[in-house]
A and B are shown apart, each in its own frame.
Chain A
């Protein structure tokens, strides 16, 4: 005996209300719970979905929700693997060289105050890229919340902080060697943030392909 669309929706809503907020984790749980309930209903004489569901949850809810708390580690491994793959793309080196060249041009053509002001905005460029991707997929394209995507915010925040530290050092930029070091570090940070933006777009696209078209 197979569950109806409404009964599946009921399980989904119940799990969402039990704090299983990420659609990818919840989808798998819904299938597991539904499969078990179907098997229980088939084995017994009762067709009362709600009673079988209640019995299942009393027995298994704690074990089931344990999975929801353990997704973080796997999500982080997934992000770093995708990051490494994207980092080794030849495009990364091109972005770094373009950033370095661009910053050097700014340093050579503007006074030091304007240059400092420009590099203080570098973290915002990377962060805006992620936020824009997030808004487009989550709000405009109406894609649900996914575990791995939301964990991406963490490395972005780490990279966001680094240029702020460099920015303080830029006050000591008196000789060319120091300036080149600062330009190098700022360019690396911008490049890494843009790699993360590319990772975000790829992850969103893969989730969109896997889940939205099937939902």
Chain B
């Protein structure tokens, strides 16, 4: 992930937001979607993505579904009811954070 220290704290929110917009997604699809949306600026590595997905699953925010696709098993993630509620909270937190940072870094725009 580029600028990893800045983006690290937002990884969970990014995942939840993407899953909120899509019914279900698999790991590789998430990395590609992020790459596409940020025009290659943000690259989520496997080493960061999967532990985050597994943690969200263990916390009950994500549900999994395994399906056979192209000669292999694929694990799809989707939001649970708690996950959907948490997405709203996380997005509000992030918006607040961006606003605060804006006020600090560029007071004229805030």
Contacts and interface: CB of A to CB of B under 8 A. Distances in A.
Contacts, number: 86
B45 to A, nearest CB: 5
Interface string A17-29: 0000000000111
Main SS at interface, chain A: helix
Interface string A39-83: 100000000000000000000101111110011011101100100
A214 B72 CA distance: 9
Q: In the complex, which range does the number of interface residues on chain B fall in? A: 20 to 34
A89 interface: no
A31 interface: yes
Contacts of A67: 46-47, 49-51
A138 interface: no
B51 A8 contact: no
Given A35-B28, A64-B47, A210-B66, A74 B58 contact: yes
A32 interface: yes
A32 B70 contact: no
Contact of B72 (A31, A63, A75): A31
Interface of B: 26-29, 32, 45-47, 49-51, 54-55, 57-60, 64, 66-75
Interface of A: 2-5, 8, 27-32, 34-36, 38-39, 60, 62-67, 70-71, 73-75, 77-78, 81, 210-211, 214-215
